[in-house]
Homo-oligomer: A and B are copies of this chain.
Amino acid sequence: MTVPERGFPVAEFEARAERAQAMMAERGLAALLVCTEPEVRYLTGFYTPFWQSPTRPWFVVLPAEGRPVAVIPGIGASAMSATWVDDIRTWPAPRPVDDGLGLLADTLAELVAGPAGATGDGARIGLPMGHETHVRMPLADLDALRDSIAPMAFVDATDVVRGLRMVKSDREIAKVAHICDIVSGGFEGLGDLLSVGMTERQAFKAFKVDLLERGADDVPYLVGATGPGFDDVIKQPSDRVIEPGDLLMFDTGSIFDGYSSDFDRYVAFGHADDGARRAYETVWQATEAGLAACRPGATTSDLWRAMAGVLDAGGSLGNSVGRLGHGLGMQVTEWPSHTADDGTVIEEGMVLTLEPGLTWAAGRMMLHEENLVVRADGPELLSRRAPAELPII
């Protein structure tokens, strides 16, 4: 398979900034402030696992015109200078007494002042405050910042970042497609990798190494379980030994160049009981119904209804996941959610999962997941379609 080019050309970031700035203008936003990893990466290309350190806040401000401005800890200056951002302002973090607040407030005031020297008094600064967002800085600092920038004020800009990120570019889609291809190969090879007598922990390790060898950059999200049935679908491995007749579920968000897959597979060792086989076939058919309903102009709630109908007809006792799929991209889950009342209109270029799940007996849940991109004429699968019947290995 052809490995997609790493990173993005400047034109990609220019297009993102222009889309953002058009939405900001419609909403009367003088600037957009972001402080979380995916948003900073989306606007700048800044990509590092250093976000795992909780010590320092990071800020990027997109003004009404031009390139984003980075207001970041000094440790990030070198990495940020390798991106398309040319205005990089740093402070010697960590500095709890003023961990970037003064520099950020000054930067906001300067950027909203306007080219003709008009004051930024009362300017509205967009900050994502809604569903699936959080503000990654100490709350005491955030409260102080809100006071210090008055009469400027933060207003919710969730719809701006949601609107930007929910529809993917061809380059983004290629990265998701590549990692889905790698993971599909990994799942198809489980029969060669796993066997009765291994522990869950050994199975996890073997699969993780296999995915890295196949070309995944990383496997940050891997959950799974084994047994005659289970309902913990976000589980870490134990020392349980795999037995004949066990089911195994692996669900992974693996990464290529900062973009994620998110799909699972179930296999059975040697044989499977009728309940598990019927549950598998029901969630597989529910996915078929979701694929048939997926096209530009339909809604996430249409997808939900199509899948839920099959699950109900199949005797589902419910599931605890709370939705039947979601968006996918830089994060293992993104907007939107396929729920009864989400109602997001599906657009060409969205990357989605379909994730129907059902409980077929007490404590026994089965999920099924595929990844797709929405094209003009319907879904194009990015994961290779699971077999229609529960695989026996």
Which residues in A have some Cβ–Cβ distance to B below 8 Å? 6, 38, 47-50, 52-56, 73-79, 82, 90, 92-96, 99, 127-140, 142-143, 156, 158, 205, 208-209, 212-213, 218-223, 230-236, 238-239, 253, 320-323, 326, 331-334, 337, 339, 363
Determine the chain B residues whose CB is within 8 A of the CB of A82 once the complex forms: 232
Determine the chain B residues whose CB is within 8 A of the CB of A212 once the complex forms: 205, 208-209, 212
Determine the chain B residues whose CB is within 8 A of the CB of A127 once the complex forms: 139
Are B234 and A94 in touch, CB under 8 angstroms? Answer: no
Cα–Cα distance between A26 and B47 once the two chains are bound (Å): 43
Are A135 and B135 in touch, CB under 8 angstroms? Answer: yes
Give the residue of B50, B139, B156, B331 whose beta carbon is less than 8 angstroms from that of A140.
Answer: B156
Are A53 and B333 in touch, CB under 8 angstroms? Answer: yes
Are A322 and B49 in touch, CB under 8 angstroms? Answer: no
CB-based nearest B residue for A258: B236
Are B55 and A95 in touch, CB under 8 angstroms? Answer: no
Give the residue of B79, B93, B99, B323 whose beta carbon is less than 8 angstroms from that of A94.
Answer: B323
Are B93 and A322 in touch, CB under 8 angstroms? Answer: yes
Give the residue of B129, B131, B138, B219 whose beta carbon is less than 8 angstroms from that of A131.
Answer: B138
CB-based nearest B residue for A95: B322
Are A140 and B132 in touch, CB under 8 angstroms? Answer: no
User: Are A139 and B135 CB-contacts (below 8 A) given A52-B332, A332-B53?
Assistant: yes
Are B75 and A321 in touch, CB under 8 angstroms? Answer: yes
Determine the chain B residues whose CB is within 8 A of the CB of A38 once the complex forms: 54
CB-based nearest B residue for A47: B236
User: Are A76 and B234 CB-contacts (below 8 A) given A205-B212, A253-B52, A322-B93?
Assistant: yes
Cα–Cα distance between A134 and B56 once the two chains are bound (Å): 11
Min CB gap A242→B, angstroms: 18
Min CB gap A93→B, angstroms: 5
Are A220 and B52 in touch, CB under 8 angstroms? Answer: yes
Are B320 and A77 in touch, CB under 8 angstroms? Answer: yes
CB-based nearest B residue for A134: B136
Cα–Cα distance between A279 and B47 once the two chains are bound (Å): 28
CB-based nearest B residue for A231: B78
Are A94 and B332 in touch, CB under 8 angstroms? Answer: no
Determine the chain B residues whose CB is within 8 A of the CB of A139 once the complex forms: 127-129, 133-135, 142
* A49-B234, A129-B139 known, 9 other contacts, Cβ within 8 Å: A52-B221, A74-B320, A74-B322, A75-B322, A78-B230, A93-B322, A99-B131, A138-B158, A208-B218
Min CB gap A90→B, angstroms: 8
Determine the chain B residues whose CB is within 8 A of the CB of A77 once the complex forms: 320
Are A132 and B236 in touch, CB under 8 angstroms? Answer: no
Are A232 and B131 in touch, CB under 8 angstroms? Answer: no
What are some 29 contacts across the A-B interface (CB < 8 A)? Answer: A6-B238, A47-B236, A48-B234, A48-B235, A49-B236, A52-B220, A52-B221, A52-B253, A53-B331, A75-B321, A75-B322, A78-B232, A78-B233, A94-B337, A96-B131, A127-B139, A129-B139, A129-B140, A130-B140, A131-B138, A132-B138, A133-B139, A134-B138, A138-B158, A140-B156, A205-B212, A209-B209, A209-B212, A212-B212
Determine the chain B residues whose CB is within 8 A of the CB of A79 once the complex forms: 232, 234-235
Cα–Cα distance between A71 and B40 once the two chains are bound (Å): 30
Determine the chain B residues whose CB is within 8 A of the CB of A230 once the complex forms: 78
Min CB gap A177→B, angstroms: 20
Determine the chain B residues whose CB is within 8 A of the CB of A133 once the complex forms: 54, 138-139
Cα–Cα distance between A233 and B131 once the two chains are bound (Å): 33
CB-based nearest B residue for A326: B55
Determine the chain B residues whose CB is within 8 A of the CB of A253 once the complex forms: 52
Determine the chain B residues whose CB is within 8 A of the CB of A137 once the complex forms: 134
Are A54 and B138 in touch, CB under 8 angstroms? Answer: no
Are A94 and B220 in touch, CB under 8 angstroms? Answer: no
